[in-house]
Amino acid sequence: MIEVNNITKKFGRKQVLKGVTFTAEKGEITCLIGINGVGKTTILNAIMALTPIKKGEILIDGEKLKPKTFNHITFIPDAITVLPQMTITESMQFMKDYYTTWNEERAQELLSFFKLNPEDKIASLSKGNTAKANLLLGLALDVDYILMDEPFSGIDMFSREQIANVFTSHLIEDRGVIITTHEIGDIEHLIDKVVLLDDGVVKKHFYTEEVREAEGKSVIDVMREEYQG
Amino acid sequence: MKSYFRLTEFELGRFFKFYLVLIGLTIVSQIIGVIAVSKEYMQEANEAIYQDGLSKQAFMDQRGLISLLDWTNSIWFLAPIALCVVTLLIYMFFIWYRDWLGKNTFIYRLLMLPTQRIHLFFAKATTIFIMVLGLVALQVFLIYIAGIVLEWMVPNEFMQTMGVSEVSVASQYVNTILPATFTEFVLYYGTGFMFVCIFFTAILIERSYRWKGLLFAIGYVAVATAVFMSLIFLSMEWGLFSLYPLEWLILQIIIGIIVTASSIFLSYYLLTKKITV
């Protein structure tokens, strides 16, 4: 389980996170929702120790993040994290060289799932294919947790569908996922838990199934209630 | 440790093409240089002997013998060295900033590798160091080759033959990059490594605290340099110490090690706790 406990963060004088607390369990897809600038990406960065937090604590399976933890958790940011001059094959080799949890079989499976040409250079890929290659590099790791930042941002409809299909496949099964997205419509039916962020705090968190069954509301209905009053 | 070696190899690979260009330019410029300097000397000799009617001995007395020092003082020899020095100084900063700049988010990947982040620091520092030592080794080789070329180009009677070590002692420029003794070599390049660590730490301070960090970074470089130089200030300027040379040297080495270790420790802290993408 990923535990985010009362974290605070300032950028200059602006207090972006004012005590955010939530958990994300293994085998569940947790979606962080909020308007731009609310601190969704900052939370993911903080979980991966890519930005310091002022206060609070983040635990992964009860422990603070250590170098070895990166073999058990991966972050797929909204831009690809390998060098643009690398080919897809080279970037896969790079990952294989450093991560003991790299699963070559799954990488090959993802390559054909996304219909990517392994000899293409990252710099020459379309936005949609770059997003897919980025996803491939993260999903081919046998990790317990996957963090994804806006995986649908700015890409075409067909690529979005293809990426959304990943969530219903065995590629995600049993893993804990934290995802941030604006395009909630694409994955609303796939997410288990929602964390609504507003003004630096968690405004509401709920299980989608419970709200659907008990109140007959979709995630978008709840968002409208919470954000538009 | 395996990750450190892999990262070093990877960092070397990232600059290797550019490095080969530097090596190529140095070879071409210095070899052309030794030919040009020899030809110029021989032209002077021919003019003096055949046109002005000077005897060989009179010319040699007047002009002096040609040696590798004529070459090491020429622009052909010095320009590529200056270019390499400036390029590596710039690369010392670029080796970090390239991972942050523009659309490049490679720093995410580097910081998320399942290895101690200080390995990044060591890999980048080692890369700079290997490149510097590589160019020094190339220089030794080129001085040796230049000696052979000079022998081909100029008759022996006009030439003062010099080996690499003699050139190193006689030329101030060569002595700077290639000290005459091993102890000096270790001291010069040890100091160089310390300054690489200081500048890397300054870069990490800036990358951790951004604009505010820029001031801290400049302050850190100033303080670290002042600490390293403190002995010189105290002994030379104010005459506070009267130490034997060996004592002075040992104390200076200890201060250098402390400054280097402090930089590495601070970088470790910044990379682990404060760095931001």
Tens digit of each residue's pLDDT (9 = 90 or more) over A36-95: 888 999 999 999 999 999 999 999 999 999 999 999 999 999 899 999 999 999 999 999
**CB within 8 Å: A83 and B105:** no
Task: Assign B122 a pLDDT band (cuts: 50, 70, 90).
Answer: very high
DSSP assignment letter at B99:
T
- Those residues whose C-beta lies under 8 Å from the C-beta of residue B21, and which sit 6 or more positions away, are none
ipTM for the whole complex: 0.93
Separation CA A220–CA A185 (nearest Å): 8
**Side-by-side strand order, sheet with A201-207:** A73-76, A145-149, A176-180, A29-33, A193-198, A201-207
Residue B97 pLDDT: 94
Distance from CA of A93 to the nearest CA of B (A): 12
State the pTM of this model. 0.91
Phi, psi of B44 (to 5 degrees): -60, -45
Phi, psi of B99 (to 5 degrees): -80, -10
Separation CA A194–CA A121 (nearest Å): 36
Q: Which residues of B237-270 are buried (b: 16+ CB within 10 A; e: fewer)?
A: eeeeeeeeeeeeeeebeebbeebbebbbebbbeb
Residue B211 burial class via C-beta count within 10 angstroms: exposed 0-12, middle 13-18, buried 19 and up: exposed
**CB within 8 Å: A80 and B272:** no
Q: Give the mean pLDDT of chain B.
A: 92
Separation CA A222–CA A206 (nearest Å): 10
**From the candidates A48, A65, A78, A97, which should be mutated to test the interface with B, based on the most B CB atoms within 10 A?**
A97
**CB within 8 Å: B113 and A98:** yes
3-state helix, strand, coil in chain B (%, to 5): 85, 0, 15
Question: Which amino acid is it at B149?
Answer: V
Q: What 3-state DSSP class applies to A63? A: strand
- Those residues whose C-beta lies under 8 Å from the C-beta of residue A136, and which sit 6 or more positions away, are A88, A92, A107, A110, A111, A114, A116
Residue B241 pLDDT: 64
Residue A103 pLDDT: 94
DSSP assignment letter at A87:
B
Taken in order of first residue, the domains within chain A and their CATH numbers are: 2-228 (3.40.50.300)
Tens digit of each residue's pLDDT (9 = 90 or more) over A82-141: 999 999 999 999 999 999 999 999 999 999 989 999 999 999 999 889 999 999 999 999
Residues of A in contact with B277 (CB under 8 A): 45, 50-51
The closest CB to that of B106, out of A49, A67, A82, belongs to A82
**Cα–Cα separations (whole angstroms), residue B34 to A97, A106, B71, B171:** 46, 59, 6, 15
**CB within 8 Å: A80 and B105:** yes
Task: Assign B131 a pLDDT band (cuts: 50, 70, 90).
Answer: very high
Pairing of strands A193-198, A29-33: parallel
**From the candidates A10, A83, A93, which should be mutated to test the interface with B, based on the most B CB atoms within 10 A?**
A83
| Lowest-pLDDT choice from A82-91, A165-174, B75-84, B146-155 | A165-174
Q: Does residue B239 register a pLDDT over 90?
A: no
Residue B70 pLDDT: 92
Tens digit of each residue's pLDDT (9 = 90 or more) over A11-39: 888 899 999 999 999 999 999 998 888 89
Separation CA A8–CA B200 (nearest Å): 29
Separation CA A128–CA B231 (nearest Å): 60
Separation CA B47–CA B105 (nearest Å): 63
Separation CA B102–CA B96 (nearest Å): 13
What average pLDDT does the segment B107-111 reach?
96
Residue in A179, A228, A173 with CA at minimum distance from that of residue A41: A179
- Closest residue in A to B270 (Cα–Cα): A52
Task: Assign B238 a pLDDT band (cuts: 50, 70, 90).
Answer: low
